[in-house]
Structure 1
Amino acid sequence: MTTVQEDASGGDPAATLAAALRRLIVMGENFRNLRARELHLGSSDVLALGHLHDGGSMAPKVLSALMGVTSGTMTAMLDRVEKAGFLRREPNPDDRRALLVRLTPAGEHAMQWLNEQFDATVRETLAGLPGMTPDELHHVLSELSGSLERRLVDESSAGHPELR
C-alpha cells in the first residue's frame, strides 16, 4: 500500500524515511499531549519536566533556553508546575542570588511513569520488527539525532538568532 508521503517522495528512500520520521515526531508530540492531560498539565509543562528529568536541576534561565521560551513564559510555567507539586525552586548553593529548578518526588514519579508508557510501546513495536536489531535501530536514530543537532548548531552560529 502506497501512502501520500511515499507518492510525494518520488520513490526516494531517504525522503520516505524522512516522512516516516516526521510522522514519528508528530505522534510523539501527540503521546506527550495525552500524557500531559492525564497528569493535568500542559504539553510544555511535561517537556520542562522531561528536561529536568534528563538533565537534573538547572537554573530557570537554562531551562528557558532549552525550551526556547521567554523568561516571563518560564516564570508562569514554573509557578503552575510548582503549584501542581511536580517541581520546586530552591536556592542555588553556588550562587545565593540564583535559583535552581528540580523535580520533586512526584515529578520524578510522573516522568518515570511517562517513560514506562513510552518504553512499553517501543518494546511492543520492536518485538514485531524482524530483520533489524534494537542496536541497529539505536545506531540509526543516534546518527540522525546527531546530524540534526549539528545542523542546529551550524545554523545558530551562522546568524539565525531564532535558533540561539
Structure 2
Amino acid sequence: MTDATTLFTDLVRTETRLYNRIDARLRAGHDMPLGSLEFLRIIGGRPVCRVYDIAHEVDITVGATSKAVDRLVARGWCERRANPDDRRSSLLLLTPAGEQALAAALPTFAAAVTELGAALPRQTLDQLADGLHQWRQHLEE
C-alpha cells in the first residue's frame, strides 16, 4: 500500500512532467503554451464565459486569470465585450483567429495525451482516470 506522501509526490511530479511535455509540443508546433490552450478550450466550450468562470474552473486567482486573458487578447485569439448583465465584468469570446488556433492545436494536444497515456496498460489508465475523477469531484465540493 502506498503512503500518502509517496502518492502526493508521484502525482505532482507526474503532472509536472506531463504538463511540460505537452506544453513543449504545443509551443513547437503552434507557438501556443498549454495554459493558453486550456483557456481557449474553456472560452470556446461555453456559451457565455467570464474571467471569473475560468478562474473558478482552473482554481487560480481572478487576477492571474485576467492577466492570462490579456495575453490571449494581445495575440488576437480572444476579445472582451461588455457584459450587459454586469458592468463590472466582461464577456470573453474567441476571435476567428482564436477559433483557428484552437482547432489547429487540439489534434496536437490529443496526440500528445494519447501518446503519453500509452505508457500505461489500458486497464491501469482507466482505473487511474476513474480514481482521479472521483478525487477531483470530492475536492471540488
The answer to whether TM tops 0.5 is yes
Q: Which residue of 2 aligns with 1:75?
A: 66
On the 8 A contact 2:18/2:116 being kept in 1, the answer is no
Pick closer, same or farther for the CA change 1:25–1:112 going to 2, 3 Å. farther
List per-residue Cα deviations over 1:117-164 (Å, max 9, x = no partner): 1333416975x98x74xxx5674344123222133135xxxxxxxxxx
* CA deviation after TM superposition for structure 1 residue 40, in Å: 4.0
> Which runs of 5 or more structure 1 residues have no equivalent in the other structure?
1-8, 155-164
Tell me the CA shift for residue 53 of structure 1: 3.4
Partner of 2:93: 102
TM-superposition CA deviations, 1:86-143 (whole Å, max 9, x none) = 11112335x15242112222222222332211333416975x98x74xxx56743441
The alignment's TM-score, normalised by the length of structure 1, stands at: 0.58
- 1:60 matched to 2:60: no
Secondary structure at the residue paired with 2:102? Answer: helix
Separation of aligned partners in 2, 1:141 and 1:114: 26
Alignment of 1:151 with 2:141, yes or no, is no
Partner secondary structure for residue 58 of structure 1: coil
TM (norm. structure 2) is 0.66
How many residues of Structure 1 are paired with residues of Structure 2 in the alignment? 135
- 5 Å matches for 1:38-53? 38-53=29-44
* Aligned partner of residue 101 in structure 1, secondary structure: strand
Aligned-residue CA RMSD in angstroms? 3.6
Q: Distance in 1 between matches of 2:70 and 2:28?
A: 18
Which residue number in structure 2 is paired with residue 84 of structure 1? 75
1:8-60 superposed Cα distances (whole Å, 9 cap, x missing partner): x88x9xx79x94x6565233311342214654455433332232234454111
3-state SS in 1 of match to 2:136:
helix
Q: Percent identity?
A: 21
Of structures 1 and 2, the one with the larger relative CO (CA 8 A, separation 6+) is: 2
Q: What is the rounded CA distance, in whole Å, between the counterparts of 2:109 and 2:33 in structure 1?
A: 18
Alignment partners' CA distance in 1, 2:36 and 2:116: 27
CA–CA distance in structure 2, aligned partners of residues 124 and 79 of structure 1:
31
